[in-house]
């Protein structure tokens, strides 16, 4: 039987490049079992020059990145599968997993080339361990483990939600804990009191749909392209946010939970009612009015969380953090209270491997490593 793997000591660095497969006779190669041991390095060695390779394949973005010192992005290659899933109007898990298999190796090669680095320059490999789609997660985790084992460097599994928090540290040396984090994406919506690295309390979250999910469902109902969030954002600029007063569920209630299923249903009912009574539906007005309701809810809850925790910084992260209305609403609210608002660049809001590398670097600095036995967990919670 031929396999395409070698023991580290058999590797010929000069002749090895990504994409080539090494066919060797398995009868000559026996894994001793020590390969699952965690490779540790002294915490002090994780300085500002540390190079960490990040891999992200939890959902529908295949991404590989090289990050220096947890903050400086040397490369961040993102291969989006949006077009593949667009025709189905949502993510098809099997299609996503297969696309990751095809896209990951070229993405890794590109990430190293752009970073002007080789595998042998890397100090560690960080990968998203969960939450996400199991088939997709497996692709990245298997590749990350193989690289860590072959190069004999540390391997660290990262929580995707925690990685989103670290998108605020990338390229930004002024970011400081403690903070209220609004993590708002396609799969999650929560407010977190983050006191420091790994020191989190979840203040509240959605009781039903995530905000991004609500954006995508409303957009789909309105006949817009997938993913719906950016489409609604774009259309909102052409519409009147005051045109329809959709409900702001739970906005005045104590606590930090939110709910989006009622808002989504209100939009659907409004459109159906307008159409059945012979009226014309102005899609831009509906998009703008829906977006404004989400913005009002999230800004109100975020500011309530700031008052509750008495922090002086807000971090926003996750795909919906790219929303122009939300960014403007939070900017204004934070300005009014002299609170620092940190918002990653649009590219760093949605899934990417740079945030995984940054989070992985912070874990390694705290002496946290992951065994090569670790399995991906599709339901991995933040806490």
> Which residues lie near ligand ADP (CB under 6 A)?
59, 185-188, 212, 215-216, 227-230, 233, 318-320, 322-323, 350-351
Task: Judge contact between 60 and 82, C-beta under 8 A.
Answer: yes
**Residue pointed to by tokens 């298997």:** 142
Q: Which residues contact 60 (CB under 8 A, 6 or more apart)?
A: 80, 81, 82, 84, 85, 91, 96, 99, 136, 351
Minimum Å gap between C-beta 183 and ligand ADP is 9
Q: Which of residues 163-182 bind Mg ion (CB under 5 A)?
A: none
Q: Interface with Mg ion by CB under 5 A: which range of 36-44, 267-275, 349-357, 362-370?
A: 349-357
The smaller minimum CB distance to ligand ADP, of residues 59 and 181, is found at 59
Q: Which partner from the list Mg ion, ligand ADP, none does 141 bind, CB cut-off 5 to 8 Å by kind? A: none
Q: Does 351 bind Mg ion (CB under 5 A)?
A: yes
Q: Does 185 bind Mg ion (CB under 5 A)?
A: yes
Minimum Å gap between C-beta 188 and ligand ADP is 6
Q: Which partner from the list Mg ion, ligand ADP, none does 155 bind, CB cut-off 5 to 8 Å by kind? A: none
The three-state secondary structure class of 154 is coil
The three-state secondary structure class of 30 is coil
**Residue pointed to by tokens 């220096």:** 68
The smaller minimum CB distance to ligand ADP, of residues 132 and 154, is found at 132
Mutual angle of helices 93-115 and 134-151, in 10-degree steps: 30
Q: Which partner from the list Mg ion, ligand ADP, none does 215 bind, CB cut-off 5 to 8 Å by kind? A: ligand ADP
Q: Which partner from the list Mg ion, ligand ADP, none does 344 bind, CB cut-off 5 to 8 Å by kind? A: none
What is the spatial distance between Cα 291 and Cα 248, in angstroms, rounded to a whole number? Answer: 11
Minimum Å gap between C-beta 58 and Mg ion is 7
List, as one string, the DSSP characters of 263-324. Answer: HHHHHHHHHHHHHHTTPPP-HHHHHHHHHHHHHHHHHHHHHHHHHHHT-SEEEEESGGGG-H
Minimum Å gap between C-beta 91 and Mg ion is 12
Q: Interface with Mg ion by CB under 5 A: which range of 8-16, 88-96, 332-340, 346-354?
A: 346-354
Cis peptide bond prior to 227, omega within 30° of 0: yes
């Amino acid at each position: 039987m031929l396999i395409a793997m070698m023991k580290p000591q058999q590797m010929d660095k000069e002749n090895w490049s990504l994409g080539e497969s090494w066919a060797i006779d398995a009868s000559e190669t026996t894994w001793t079992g020590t390969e699952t041991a965690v490779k540790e390095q002294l915490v002090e060695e994780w300085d500002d020059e540390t190079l960490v390779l990040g891999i992200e394949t939890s959902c529908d973005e295949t991404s590989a990145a090289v990050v220096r010192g947890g903050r400086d992005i040397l490369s961040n290659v993102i291969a989006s599968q949006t077009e593949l899933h667009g025709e189905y109007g949502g993510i098809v898990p099997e299609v996503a997993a297969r696309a990751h298999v095809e896209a990951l190796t070229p993405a890794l090669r590109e990430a190293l080339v752009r970073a002007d680095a080789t595998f042998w320059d890397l100090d560690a490999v960080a990968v998203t361990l969960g939450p996400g789609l199991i088939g997709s997660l497996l692709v990245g985790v298997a590749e990350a483990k193989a690289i860590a084992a072959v190069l004999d460097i540390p391997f660290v599994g990262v929580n995707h939600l925690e990685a989103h928090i670290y998108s605020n540290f990338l390229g930004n040396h002024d970011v400081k804990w403690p903070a209220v984090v609004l993590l708002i994406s396609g799969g999650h919506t929560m407010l977190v009191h983050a006191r420091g690295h790994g020191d989190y309390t979840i203040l509240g979250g959605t009781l039903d749909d995530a905000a991004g999910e609500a954006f995508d469902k409303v957009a789909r109902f309105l006949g817009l392209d997938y993913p719906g969030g950016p489409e609604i954002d774009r259309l909102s600029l052409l519409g009147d946010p005051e045109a329809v007063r959709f409900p702001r569920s739970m906005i005045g209630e104590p606590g930090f939970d939110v709910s989006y299923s009622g808002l989504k249903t209100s939009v659907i009912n409004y459109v159906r009612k307008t159409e059945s009574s012979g009226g014309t539906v102005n899609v831009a007005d509906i998009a703008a009015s829906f977006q404004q309701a989400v913005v009002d809810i999230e800004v109100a809850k975020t500011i309530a969380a700031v008052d509750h925790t008495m922090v002086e910084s807000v971090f926003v992260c996750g795909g919906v953090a790219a929303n122009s209305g939300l960014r403007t609403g939070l900017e204004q609210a934070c300005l009014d209270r002299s609170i620092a608002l940190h918002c990653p660049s649009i590219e760093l809001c949605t899934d990417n491997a740079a945030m995984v590398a940054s989070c992985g670097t912070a874990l390694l600095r705290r002496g946290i490593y992951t065994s090569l036995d670790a399995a991906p967990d599709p339901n991995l919670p933040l806490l």
